[in-house]
């Protein structure tokens, strides 16, 4: 496994953004693990996270895009931190935008905050994880009616490698439907491989019992 993947998994685990236990996901599934970039709480953590995303975007797309979009709410700090890192660390100065969740009845009533997309512009969507693909579909349903864009791709922190409710591969289903690639910094199988019985700061986060719980979950919902 590449060093940057190992470093990213360690970063997720040590910061508490990767947790093991009992969680109910947005999809309704009960999961033995949870990845939540919304749990990063310091400027240093967000700067580090933004650099991981920025490096993934640069490696995948160079500067062949016009702006990044992060869906509210978790995507808002991701978009901002990534845009800052792209400019500061890689010399790629691009726009960023995110959506409002609520419609305003006064002042600036625009749905999108930040860069205002123009027809024909190229967008990279960023978010934290994909389970059944529902959150990404919501992003597309919001963006497509607003302006005619070119969708370069999606960058996510982790691939949970799961099926949709209809039993389809969530990633492939989205890619086939919207004709854009999804790329990840790490996958759940890479997380499992790296963390199994590994001691971080004097503690083993993923022992054989928790590892089996995740594998059983993937046997039911995974692809």
Give the residue numbers annotated as catalytic, written as ranges: 104, 106
Rounded Cα–Cα distance for residues 73 and 155 (Å):
16
Whether residue 73 is preceded by a cis peptide bond, meaning omega within 30 degrees of 0, is yes
Rounded Cα–Cα distance for residues 142 and 138 (Å):
6
Whether residue 45 is preceded by a cis peptide bond, meaning omega within 30 degrees of 0, is no
Rounded Cα–Cα distance for residues 27 and 10 (Å):
26
Q: Which pair of tokens denotes residue 21? A: 């236990």
* DSSP structural state of residue 101: S
Rounded Cα–Cα distance for residues 118 and 184 (Å):
27
- Cβ atoms of residues 180 and 154 within 8 Å: yes
């Amino acid at each position: 496994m590449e060093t940057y993947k190992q470093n990213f998994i360690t970063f997720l685990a040590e910061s508490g953004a990767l947790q093991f236990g009992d969680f109910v996901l947005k999809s309704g599934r009960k999961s033995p693990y949870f990845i939540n970039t919304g749990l990063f709480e310091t400027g240093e953590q967000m700067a580090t996270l933004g650099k991981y995303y920025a490096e993934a975007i640069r490696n995948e797309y160079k500067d062949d895009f016009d702006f990044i979009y992060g869906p509210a709410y978790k995507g808002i700090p991701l978009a901002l931190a990534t845009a800052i890192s792209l400019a500061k660390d890689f010399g790629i100065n691009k726009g960023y935008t995110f959506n409002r969740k609520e419609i305003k009845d006064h002042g600036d009533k625009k749905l999108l905050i930040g860069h205002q997309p123009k027809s024909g512009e190229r967008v990279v969507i960023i978010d934290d994880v994909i389970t059944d693909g529902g959150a990404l579909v919501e992003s597309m349903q919001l963006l497509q009616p607003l302006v005619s864009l070119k969708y370069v791709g999606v960058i996510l922190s982790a691939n949970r490698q799961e099926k949709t409710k209809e039993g389809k591969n969530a990633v492939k289903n989205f890619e086939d439907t919207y004709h854009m690639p999804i790329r990840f910094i790490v996958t759940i199988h890479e997380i499992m491989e790296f963390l199994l019985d590994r001691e971080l700061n004097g503690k083993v986060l993923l022992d054989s019992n928790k590892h089996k719980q995740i594998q059983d979950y993937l046997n039911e919902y995974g692809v």
